[in-house]
Structure 1
Amino acid sequence: MDYYRFWQLLLDEISVAPKNGERRIVTFHDPRHYAGVLSEWRSLKSKRAGLKQVQVSTLIRAFVMPAAGAARLLDRFAESLNVEEDLRIQIHSIPGERVGTAVLPWGVKAIHAPQAWTRSTGVQVRIGVIDTGADYRHPDLKHSLTSGVNLLHRGMLPLDDNGHGTHIAGTLSAAGGSRGMMGVAPRALIYPVKAFDHSGSAYVSDIVLGIDWCVQNKMDLINMSFGMKTRSKALHDVVQKAYRSGIAIIASSGNDGKRGGDYPARYPETIAVGATDKRQRVASFSNRGPYIDVYGPGENVPSCWLREGYKEMSGTSMATSHVTGAAALLLALRPGLTPKELKLLLRRSSVPVRLRKGQRRVSLGGGSADAQRLLRAGTRTRRATAATV
């Protein structure tokens, strides 16, 4: 393969293509071709302004580039490339009402997080939250938020212009004390990864690059409260890479109220989360089915919001942040747990859930998350393992 010609063909198309147009994810059948193309890109990018529109995921050996350029490359190098459409993906939440305060939200109490705090508060567990960013001015989050990364505007803080990411961060690890909100794991560290814009929309490539960043920066957990109906090879590849590197991905199943669910939660390497209401029933909007690993509180959940406020929201997004918080409590005690072991412990320690009246009877998968039971199960497993060594 002529690597210089590869980039010259792309630059010819970029020069006439509209900015902010459609994108494609390009991978290579032969790793040697990827290495050669990457080396040439590194030598050219400082000289050719058009190559600033190209991004790289080293984890799955992929380039993200304008669609027109990818089509031209496919015409010329079809035997060497795989080109995937860069699909849109949405956050999983239903807007609610602003509320005055949220000291100890019902969901945090429902999973028995306060009872677990005598043993663990999630201290120093690193959580990558791939979302809309976070409100760094919120007083309940000032001890929890770290710098993270802004994939939409590199070099800028991942500031939240939607609210969804701030809500997720609050449930995960708000630490406002007696005058503010408390999240599930108040001493965990949140690394906001801003991949979603103000409307709660992102591209698959943004998620790929976000997971890539989380792996490179050694997160312990990744919270992904979003999804789409279509399977993506690039997204599955990067999820598998994170799984093999020892990072558990906890993903929301979607809000269609159906048997089944969205990707990436449907990938076997993730921990798939459904939502319950205040009566420990499957929420009317929640997807359900045998692939759901665990459920969490997801209906009318109050949490942190923009401009130092609070808001109720519903969705499997909210349920996912409760489960990720519970996982952080356990990982603070058992930092060596693999994603597979964490999933098994979440399922084994869960509490049975019920269907609402009129909901179609199907296999529900796992039960409802319980942080106190999870810590007991996790430490019992450690003692049993130690006894056999």
Structure 2
Amino acid sequence: MDYSSFLRYLNDHIDTSGKSGRHIIRFTHPAIFAEMARQLRRRRNHDPALRRVRVSALLQALVCPMAPDRGIRERYGLLVEEDVRVSVHAATPSKDSPAGVPWGVRRIGAPDAWSVSTGNQIRIGVIDTGADFSHPDLRNSLARGVNILNQMSPPYDDNGHGTHIAGTIAASGGSRGMMGVAPRSLIYPVKAFDHNGSAYVSDIILGIDWCVQNRMHIINMSFGMKNKSLSLQNTIRRAYQAGIVVVASSGNDKKNRSVDYPARYPHTISVGATGRDGRVAPFSNHGPRIDIYAPGEKIKSCWLGGGYREMNGTSMATSHVSGSIALLLALRPGLTPGEIKRRLRRTARALPSPGAKSGPGEVHAARLLRARSAAAGKKPSGKSRP
């Protein structure tokens, strides 16, 4: 490949205003990508426009602000994908008082599991809008994380959604505040979503890249989109192959036999929402594409400014599942993502609806950990497909 020619072409077509959209350019050969990344770093000093190009080592791709262009495909034979927008999966929040132990955390039996596991030191990358580092219930639950949108700034939350997710997973406010599912796990906020709860696919990819490099155990993805992205799918697959459990919300469209991406990809655990009555929530997607359900209706959790809010959504359900997995991994760190998915389904509480016996059930953290005791003497099997 003529690297100099390609970088000149890229430099000439980059839109520094950012108004023409973005594209993801993927390389199929690792050696070609590695050399391209090396030459790109060297050329950035001479060609300022190239400083706008970002690199994903995990995907072996470049993210470029540029208009649609067939020249890259035709001249250089590279894979090019439009970088589209993704939104978080939640409804507008309503104000609420301190949550204590929220009903969803109680519903899945998390307090019954705390005598055995609190998720101690399990690292969870929450790819979202950031987190409120000043919240009293999250002060001992948040690690540094990363701001994908502005790497010079911490991942401060300017929306509230990420803080709500972090609270359900790992809040540790004790008797004066809120308790999450896994209160001694560590949340690493990965800010890929802006103040509107919107992100580019490329920002999510770079967030996953960061999670793999920094050895997260779990990635929480409480967001979705309608269109498939091969780049995002390949990145999630590589995270799965690295042993990371990827948990994704299924969407709030009331659809049967359909879920949003990335929950639809086979290497994720797709999560639907239940209500306080133990049934599938009216807004939740449902059906055989769901791997597990969890509480997602009127969920109280942490909010900006040290406060609390009540929210609906499969986003909220996903955070209950991520917390449950953290409790399990603190006891059984050798479990693979495929084994964890099977264990979640096997120990789930059946839903009171037609066909529930053969379909996915609702996560139950206490059962999940009790199942561990029966299998403690068995040697874990190798990785398998989800």
TM-score scaled by length of structure 2: 0.95
Looking at structure 2, the residues matched to 364 and 312 of structure 1 have their Cα atoms a distance apart, in angstroms, of: 32
Taking the TM superposition and a 5 Å limit, the aligned residue runs for 1:279-318 are 279-318=277-316
Could you say which residue in structure 1 is the equivalent of 2:5? 5
Is the 8 Å Cα contact of residues 296 and 320 (structure 1) preserved in structure 2? yes
String of CA shifts for 1:250-290, please: whole Å, max 9, x gaps.
00000001111101111111101000000110000000111
Q: What is the CA–CA distance in structure 2 between the aligned matches of 1:144 and 1:95, rounded to whole Å?
A: 25
Do residues 139 (structure 1) and 136 (structure 2) align? yes
Of 173, 178, 188, the match for 1:176: 173
SS of 1:331's equivalent in the other structure is helix
Q: 2:65 matched to which residue of 1? A: 66
The structure 2 residue matched to 1:159, chosen from 156, 159, 165, is: 156
1:34 matched to which residue of 2? 33
CA distance in 2, matches of 1:325, 1:144: 12
* Alpha-carbon offset, residue 94 of structure 1: 0.9
Aligned to 2:217: 220
Contact 2:350 2:356 in 1 (8 A): no
Matching residue of 1:381: 375
Aligned to 2:87: 90
Is 1:369 matched up with 2:358?
Answer: no
Matched residue, 2:111: 114
Deviations 1:199-225 (A, max 9, x none): 000011111111110000000000000
State the Cα deviation string for residues 70-125 of structure 1 (Å, max 9, x = none). Answer: 54433432xx2000010111100011311021111100000010000000000000
Q: Tell me if the contact between 1:54 and 1:64 (Cα under 8 Å) persists in the aligned partners.
A: yes
| 2:89 aligned partner, one-letter code | H
1:48 maps to 47
Secondary structure of 2:327's aligned partner: helix
| Paired AA for residue 156 in structure 1 | S
Give 3-state SS (helix, strand or coil) of 2:377's partner: helix
Contact 2:16 2:49 in 1 (8 A): no
Task: Judge conservation of contact 1:288–1:365 (CA < 8 Å) in 2.
Answer: no
Q: Which runs of 5+ in 2 are unaligned?
A: 381-386
CA distance in 2, matches of 1:244, 1:127: 17
- Contact 1:289/1:363 (8 A) holds in 2: no
Q: Distance in 1 between matches of 2:282 and 2:61?
A: 39
Count of residue pairs the alignment pairs up: 379
The answer on 1:246 being equivalent to 2:240 is no
User: Which amino acid in structure 2 is aligned with residue 130 of structure 1?
Assistant: I
Counterpart-to-counterpart distance in 1, 2:135 and 2:35: 46
What is the distance in 2 between the residues matched to 1:363 and 1:232?
A: 33
TM-score w.r.t. length of structure 1 = 0.94
SS at match of 1:115: helix
Percentage identity across paired residues of the two chains: 55
- Alignment RMSD: 1.6
Distance 2:355 2:255 in 1: 11
Structure 1 spans left out of the alignment, 5+ residues = none
- Higher mean displacement: 138-147 or 43-52: 43-52
C-alpha separation between the residues in 2 aligned to 1:56 and 1:70? 19
**Offset of 1:67 from its aligned partner?**
2.5
Equivalent-residue separation in structure 2 for 1:368 and 1:145 (angstroms): 27
Q: Which amino acid counterpart does residue 255 of structure 1 have in structure 2?
A: N
| Counterpart-to-counterpart distance in 2, 1:213 and 1:113 | 29
- SS of 1:223 mapped into structure 2: strand
CA contact (8 A) 1:292 1:364 kept: no
